[in-house]
Structure 1
Amino acid sequence: MSGQKGMLHYKVEIKQEAVRLVLEEHLTYAVVAARLEIRKAERIKIWVQMYRREGELSFHKPIGRPLKAESEEREVARLRMENALLKKFHTELREVQLAQRNIGRSTTTRKNTK
C-alpha cells in the first residue's frame, strides 16, 4: 500500500461501478459511497471527473511516481565516472598502506648486544 498511512486503493471494478451508478442511475455521491462502502464521497466525484475527461483508460493508469529512465549514454558516463573515482581511491589507499609499512623501520640493522 503506497501513499499516506491508512490510505486505500480501490479496485478498478469498484471505480467503474461507482461511476456507472452516478452517471446512469443518477445517484448522489453520498448514496454511492454508502452502497459501495467507500470512505469519502469526494473520491467518487474525482473518479467521475477523470472518467469524463479521459474515459475508461483513466482507471488503468499506474499509481505513483513514474520510474526515472536513464539513457544508455548517461549510464555509461556515470559508470565511467565511478570507475575513475574507484581507481583514484585505490591508488591513494595503496600509497597510504605502503607509507604505513615503512613507519618505524630503521635503515640499519642492529646486532643483539646482550
Structure 2
Amino acid sequence: MQLIEQTNTLQTLIHKAKSIYEERRETKEVADFFSVVKPFADEMDKVVDAWEQSALDWLKTNPQKYVHAVQVTQTADNARRVGAYAHFFDTGKAKFIQSADSALYVLESIGKILKKDGAL
C-alpha cells in the first residue's frame, strides 16, 4: 500500500476514534474490552505501524522542510494512544482531542505534500 493510501486510512481511523470517543462520553456506555476495544486498537496499531515505516522511509529519500522523522514518530504514538483510549469515556477530553488533532495535522500535511508531488 502506498503512503498516500496509508495516510488516508489512518486519518479515517482517527476520525472514527474521535466519533467513538464522543459517543462514549455522551452515553457513558462501557465497551467490552475483548470484543470492541482490543480489535479496534489492534487495527489502529497495524495501520500505524505500516504508515510509520512507510513515512520514515519516504522522509529518508524525500527530506521535507516542514515534516521531520520526530513528527512522524510522535504522530504514530498519538494515533496509537487515540486508538487505545477511544472507547473509554473517562479519558481526559483535552488530552484525547489534542492527541487526535495533532496526529491529524501531521497526516494532513503529509497528504498535501504527496498530492502536490503527484504521489497519488
> Larger C-alpha radius of gyration, 1 or 2?
1
Q: Same fold (TM over 0.5)?
A: no
Bigger RCO (CA 8 Å, 6+ sep): 2
Structure with the larger helix share: 2
